[in-house]
Amino acid sequence: MTFKDLRLKRKLVKTLAEKGYESPTPIQQRSIPAVIKKRDVIGSAQTGTGKTAAFALPTIHRLSRAKKRVRCLALTPTRELAVQVFEQFSAYSAATSLTCTIIYGGVGYKQQLEDLEKIPDIVVATPGRLLDHIDRGNLTLENVEILILDEVDRMLDLGFIDDVKNIERMCSYNKRQTLLFSATIPESVRKLAEWALKDPEEIIIGERKSPAQTVDHSIWPVDPLQKFNLMVALIEKHQIESMIIFCRTRHGSDRIARWLQEHKYPVSVMHSDLKQSDRLRALRDFKEGVNTILVATDIASRGLDIKGVTHVINYDVPQHAEDYVHRIGRTGRAQTQGMAFTLASPEENAEIARIEKYIDGEIQRRKLDDFSYRYDPIPQSKPVRKKRNRGFQR
Ligand code: AMP
């Protein structure tokens, strides 16, 4: 199947060919026709499956020409995801007259105000700052024809449910189309979907709970005191071009980053205690390869599309089983092979058990051959006693 077969406008097909996209991914194959037919959509697909283009392309197709009204609102849970969605909307709409603006918190109002004064066709926003602008009368949502709610599970985790509901109510255009995307669709997301969507087409691609098949993921049992040394040994052993290390806490990420810097590794750090400008710089340095290692909390585990991440290390086992799938999904994206190592101390066995239950499979335990463990991390099972020879001959 090609993008042309999906009946996208010629300009869009040309832009995609220039970007080197050869064929639509499975979620795009199903979502693009549904959106073009003006259906509401509830979509779930694993990270890195082309989810953003699955809603951005048919939206651009439908809006087609600039009309000096805000006609599409894409709501995302985090600023980083907003940047990513905005970048894709801007790239795909480059050959059209549509204009696109991004609105998020943690930065000044001036630029955003100037952008809103020009009345963009497409607004990509995080909920809090968007509501601020609406309160100040800087934009209205009454002409929004297409409302996109992205990474809704994360949006609800972050406590945005009331904001999302408020914003949804403000999008009062009577023929509004709503597209809801979420990596997973738990009951809370389904409830919101029932509330905001009309007779949606449900598109579920692949196993919702399983890690991508392109990720080789394993558990490395280790004494907590040896975690850092084992991690350094793993980094040394593998040719790591681009790696994300996930830590549970902000404090933990700072500490690991500092230790790695002391070992002369080029490191960026990203967590929610940092200023927005520092977060964006950390991400940019990592994306551009200035720093090959990004140490982060779960703020980076969902949705962020960073090309060419070859390895993920979970320095701490994630507390929520879903986060395991999100974290290791940062590598092995778009058909490339990735590796994910989870360092697990005995105290984290309960979390590991929860993850294995969630993904419905056992994760392979591995140990590093020439590393001097304080104790055997994977003790051999007891030797099988030979059956007594009772004198029978074979
Ligand atoms: P997403 O799942 O939206 O985070 O997208 C993952 C990555 O795949 C992004 O870098 C997209 O630019 C890229 N991508 C999306 N659709 C296609 C396609 N049909 N062919 C090749 N790459 C794609």
State pTM to two decimals: 0.66
Atom of ligand 1 nearest to the CA of 305: 4
CA 334–ligand 1 middle distance (angstroms): 7
pLDDT value at position 385?
A: 55
Q: Residue 101's pLDDT band (boundaries 50, 70, 90)?
A: very high
Q: Look at the block and give the residue holding tokens 């639509």.
A: 24
pLDDT, tens digit (0-9, with 9 covering 90-100), for 227-286: 999 999 999 998 788 899 999 999 999 999 999 999 999 999 988 788 888 888 898 899
CA 93–ligand 1 middle distance (angstroms): 15
pLDDT, tens digit (0-9, with 9 covering 90-100), for 302-353: 656 677 788 999 999 998 887 888 888 888 766 567 899 999 999 999 999 9
104-140 as b/e, with b when 16 or more CB fall inside 10 Å?
bbebeeeebeebbeebbbbbbbbbebbeebbeeebbe
CA 53–ligand 1 middle distance (angstroms): 7
The whole-number average pLDDT for the span 175-190 is 89
Atom of ligand 1 nearest to the CA of 88: 12
Q: What is the mean pLDDT of the chain?
A: 89
pLDDT value at position 17?
A: 95
Q: Tokens representing 31? A: 């979502």
Query: Alpha helix locations (H) across the chain?
Result: 10-19, 26-36, 51-63, 79-92, 110-117, 127-135, 152-157, 161-170, 187-196, 227-237, 250-262, 276-287, 321-328, 349-359
Ligand 1 and 53: CB distance under 6 A: yes
CA 356–ligand 1 middle distance (angstroms): 28
Kindly report the protein residue whose alpha carbon is nearest to atom 15 of ligand 1: 50
**Cβ-contact 188, 49 below 8 angstroms:** no
**Residue 383, by phi and psi: left (phi above 0), alpha (psi -120 to 50) or beta?**
beta
Kindly report the protein residue whose alpha carbon is nearest to atom 13 of ligand 1: 50
DSSP 222-269: --GGGHHHHHHHHHHHS--SSEEEE-SSHHHHHHHHHHHHHTT--EEE
**Cβ-contact 51, 77 below 8 angstroms:** no
Q: Tokens representing 168? A: 């949804």
Kindly report the protein residue whose alpha carbon is nearest to atom 19 of ligand 1: 24
The residue to mutate among 25, 29, 302, 309, having the most atoms of ligand 1 within 8 angstroms of its beta carbon, is 25
The residue to mutate among 1, 6, 21, having the most atoms of ligand 1 within 8 angstroms of its beta carbon, is 21
